[in-house]
Amino acid sequence: MTAAGRREVGQWTSPDTAADRLMAPLQPAIDRADGDQKRRLQEVRDGLLGTGRDVIVDLAAAVIARQVGA
């Protein structure tokens, strides 16, 4: 598999999918946590949600660009 091939079939990581992947594990982690850890995870979630999806997507795009050397 090449990067071009993965892009062509929709398997290449996009900023949107990276943002979704960043947010997805937070709620299950919050549900499992207790005490101070639960509070910190909730603050992270609330902070990410408060910044808006556009900021999360921009952050994910920057991380992806750094990973591929762009």
Domain ranges of the chain: 14-67
- Residue 34's pLDDT band, with cuts at 50, 70 and 90, is very high
Span 5-14, average pLDDT? 69
N- to C-terminal Cα separation, the chain:
20
Span 10-39, average pLDDT? 83
> How confident is the model at residue 70, as a pLDDT?
56
Q: Which residue has the tokens 């979704």?
A: 20
Answer whether 0.75 is exceeded by the pTM: no
Contact 39, 5 (CB under 8 A): no
pLDDT tens digit sequence for 48-69: 787 777 787 787 788 777 877 6
Q: What is the dihedral of CA 37, 43, 49, 50, to 10 degrees?
A: -170
Q: pLDDT averaged over the chain?
A: 80
